[in-house]
């Protein structure tokens, strides 16, 4: 029912000064003056009486002085008494308030003639009108970068320019992070009454948080429209045997609403040109996997988006894609021997029917790097300084490399590959096994993850242990590893496996080579918040930037151009997460209080704490006065006894 806290808790350390009077009393006692009396009997009686009075008065003064110091320190620490009994007050006490504006993209939905975000900003204006000069206000949003720069403590009202033009945030911070930040900023106001107001439509997959400060929620648009369509996972489909310029893009059309949608228009836009469209129907609360086909107009990088025409919520209407098209990719095979037939055929298919160029490991030089899109290593022999230097240069320029293993590996080769792929290569397992793991979040794995493999047996593979990122696996052992722009196939390519006859192998191998042959993951799925490495780039807003540390966190949806001035310039597509696409309400935390439609009358009326610093300071002053009075009384009594 009652809880005591301190607004300046750090000052409590000075409470240790309370023992100073005690130390003085123990170690700095004055010796009584020597007085010669004519009679020893009177001396003894007087001494006993004086010592008794002196001891009692000294202890009393000592206690008073210690209490004075203690109460002064406690007063400076500003103790706050919290109690549910104090909430009954209707007085607008001086209050520190953190207002959190939910500017996630669901707030862009229209409610009549205005969006939810516009209505939320009107609520902020009402809060300003209800505040007075004794209040302290802090404005926060779902954008933490904005909060770190603009969460000042304002007197009386929040400047309107802070929120009137505040945009949507497509990468909204989670609620616990916001509440923690709000509590931290409110603690700096040093005010006893503190509140947090959340202005939100409450469209959230999960709204979970804990708060030591009371949280009130003002809901925007309680009668929400339950309709919304979105597009996700737009990806180019691999063209294995078809070398024409016809390209298919797979995507998912999602119906988040509660009624079926017929004749929904979906269109494909590439390089800002609409190339194809189709009408689809999707049932309520379901997703539909579809493809759309168009003709490529040129070789090189293709970038665009699949879009659904839906006016309920526009932020999730597009899913961006980017991929590289080259009719005859140039491939170099680094090997001392002839490739196994199945591997040579895959490389030939990927190269558009042209056989790859075979280069001896002893002939490697840096000039070769600019001539080829992909380097395949098989039976590469000694791990020489020449080979290490060549691979280092490949990695610097983000060129793809694929390592295919045979039935023999030297200890040096094992050590080299183990280090390169963060694993430890052991012995060759010749007992055979079945493919039982496919990483469906990987672009290559996603193409075969939901397919039923007719042949999935691997005759032999190299066993590994470690933390390497696997894309295929068997019985807990990786069969294919990937790191950065390099891949390692751990099956024995020299021993024919039934898996090589399955169409899934062709699709996986082709897609893996296509990914590696691009400077970045061609067709890969990037989301806001992911990090990439590049020396320079052009943002979706067309702003060109240079990066000193080559690291960048993706913060806008759309198409990014990496290293635009280089011959190996590449494009990536970045999409938003569909966190706000579902229009149904989140469940509120138990301790959060949702205000009524007449929320204005409920603002600034609750008193959550009473500060005790003034009371403690008055007690300290009273004790000081008592000490002075006692000293005067004792001095007067002592003088009277001496005179008598």
184 and 145 housed in the same domain: yes
Confidence at residue 522, expressed as pLDDT on a 0 to 100 scale: 47
Confidence at residue 241, expressed as pLDDT on a 0 to 100 scale: 53
529: in domain? no
34: in domain? yes
Residue for token pair 């008073």: 64
500 and 384 housed in the same domain: yes
Residue 465, phi-psi category: left (phi > 0), alpha (psi -120 to 50), beta (remainder) = beta
CATH of the domain at 188: 3.40.50.410
Max Cα–Cα distance, the chain, nearest Å: 133
* Closest to 463 in 3D by CA, of 473, 448, 455: 473
Number of domains in the chain: 3
Model pLDDT for residues 94-143, shown as the tens digit of each residue? 899 999 999 999 999 887 789 999 999 999 999 999 999 999 999 999 99
62 and 150 housed in the same domain: no
Q: Write down how long the chain is.
A: 644
Contact 506, 349 (CB under 8 A): yes
Q: Which long-range contacts (CB under 8 A, 24 or more apart) does 89-93 make?
A: 89/605, 89/606, 89/607, 90/605, 91/605, 91/607, 92/132, 92/604, 92/605, 93/193, 93/607
Question: pTM of this prediction?
Answer: 0.66
Confidence at residue 5, expressed as pLDDT on a 0 to 100 scale: 61
Q: Whole domain around residue 173: which residue ranges?
A: 90-224+588-606
494: in domain? yes
Contact 283, 330 (CB under 8 A): no
Contact 15, 97 (CB under 8 A): no
Of 517, 544, 562, the last residue of a domain is: 517
40 and 160 housed in the same domain: no
252: in domain? no
559: in domain? no
265: in domain? no
Q: How many angstroms separate the CA atoms of 272 and 289, rounded?
A: 24
Q: Which residue ranges in the chain fall short of pLDDT 70?
A: 1-11, 28-54, 78, 80-91, 239-244, 518-524, 568, 606-611, 641-644
77 and 100 housed in the same domain: no
339 and 215 housed in the same domain: no
Of 488, 517, 546, the last residue of a domain is: 517
Sign of CA dihedral 472, 478, 484, 486: negative
624: in domain? yes
50 and 170 housed in the same domain: no
357 and 497 housed in the same domain: yes
Q: How many angstroms separate the CA atoms of 486 and 517, rounded?
A: 10
55 and 161 housed in the same domain: no
Confidence at residue 380, expressed as pLDDT on a 0 to 100 scale: 93
Contact 234, 319 (CB under 8 A): yes
Sign of CA dihedral 470, 473, 477, 479: negative
Of 467, 489, 517, the last residue of a domain is: 517
132 and 47 housed in the same domain: no
38: in domain? yes
602 and 625 housed in the same domain: no
């Amino acid at each position: 029912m009652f809880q005591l806290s301190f607004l300046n808790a750090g000052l409590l350390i000075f409470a240790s000064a309370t023992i100073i009077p005690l130390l003085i009393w123990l170690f700095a006692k004055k010796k009584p003056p020597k007085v010669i009396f004519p009679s020893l009997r009177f001396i003894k009686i007087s001494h006993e009486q004086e010592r008794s009075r002196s001891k009692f008065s000294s202890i009393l003064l000592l206690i008073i002085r210690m209490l004075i110091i203690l109460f002064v320190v406690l007063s400076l620490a500003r103790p706050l008494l919290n109690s549910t009994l104090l909430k009954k007050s209707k007085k607008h006490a001086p209050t520190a308030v953190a207002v959190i504006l939910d500017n996630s993209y669901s707030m862009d939905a229209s409610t009549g003639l205005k969006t939810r975000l516009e209505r939320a900003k009107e609520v902020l204006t009402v809060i300003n009108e209800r505040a007075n000069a004794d209040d302290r206000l802090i404005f926060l949003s779902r954008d933490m970068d904005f909060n770190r720069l603009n969460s000042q403590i304002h007197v009386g009202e929040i400047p309107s320019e802070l929120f009137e033009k505040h945009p949507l945030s497509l990468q909204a911070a989670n609620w616990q992070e916001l509440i923690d930040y709000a509590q931290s900023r409110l603690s700096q106001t040093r005010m006893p009454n503190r509140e947090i107001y959340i202005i939100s439509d409450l469209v959230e997959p999960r709204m979970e948080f804990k708060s030591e400060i009371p949280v009130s929620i003002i809901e925007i648009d309680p009668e929400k429209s339950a309709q919304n369509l979105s597009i996700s996972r737009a990806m180019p489909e691999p063209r294995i045997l078809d070398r024409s310029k016809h390209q298919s893009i797979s995507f998912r059309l999602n119906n988040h609403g509660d009624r079926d949608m017929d004749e929904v228009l979906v269109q494909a836009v590439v390089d800002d040109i609409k190339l194809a469209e189709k009408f689809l129907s999707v049932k309520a609360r379901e997703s539909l996997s579809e493809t759309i086909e168009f003709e490529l107009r040129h070789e090189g990088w293709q970038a665009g988006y699949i879009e659904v025409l839906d006016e309920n919520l526009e932020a999730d209407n597009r899913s961006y894609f980017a991929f590289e098209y080259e009719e005859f990719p140039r491939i170099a095979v680094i090997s001392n021997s002839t490739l196994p037939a199945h591997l040579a055929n895959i490389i030939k298919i990927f190269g558009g029917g042209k056989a790859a160029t075979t280069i001896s490991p002893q002939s490697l030089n840096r000039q070769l790097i600019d001539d080829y899109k992909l380097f395949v290593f098989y039976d590469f022999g000694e791990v020489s300084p020449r080979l290490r230097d060549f691979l280092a240069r490949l990695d610097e320029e983000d060129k793809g490399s694929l390592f295919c293993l045979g039935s023999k590996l030297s200890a040096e080769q094992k050590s080299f590959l183990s280090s390169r792929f963060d694993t430890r290569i052991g012995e060759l397992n010749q007992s055979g096994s079945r493919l039982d793991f496919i990483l469906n979040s990987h672009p290559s794995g996603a193409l075969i993850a939901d397919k039923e493999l007719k042949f999935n047996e691997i005759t032999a593979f190299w066993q590994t242990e470690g933390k390497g990122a696997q894309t295929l696996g068997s019985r807990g052992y990786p069969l294919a590893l990937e790191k950065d722009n390099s891949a390692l196939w751990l099956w024995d390519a020299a021993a024919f496996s039934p898996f090589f006859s399955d169409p899934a192998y062709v699709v996986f191998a082709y897609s893996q080579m296509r990914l590696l042959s691009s400077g970045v993951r061609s067709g890969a799925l990037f989301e806001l918040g992911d990090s990439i490495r590049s020396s320079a780039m052009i943002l979706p807003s067309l702003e060109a930037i240079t990066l000193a540390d080559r690291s960048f966190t993706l913060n806008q949806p759309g198409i990014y151009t990496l290293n635009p001035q280089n011959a190996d310039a590449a494009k990536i597509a970045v999409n938003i997460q569909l966190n706000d696409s579902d229009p149904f309400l989140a469940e509120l935390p138990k301790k959060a209080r949702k205000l009524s439609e007449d929320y204005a009358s409920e603002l600034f009326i609750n008193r959550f704490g009473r500060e005790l610093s003034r009371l403690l300071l008055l007690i300290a002053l009273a004790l000081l006065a008592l000490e002075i009075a006692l000293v005067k009384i004792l001095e007067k009594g002592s003088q009277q006894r001496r005179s008598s």
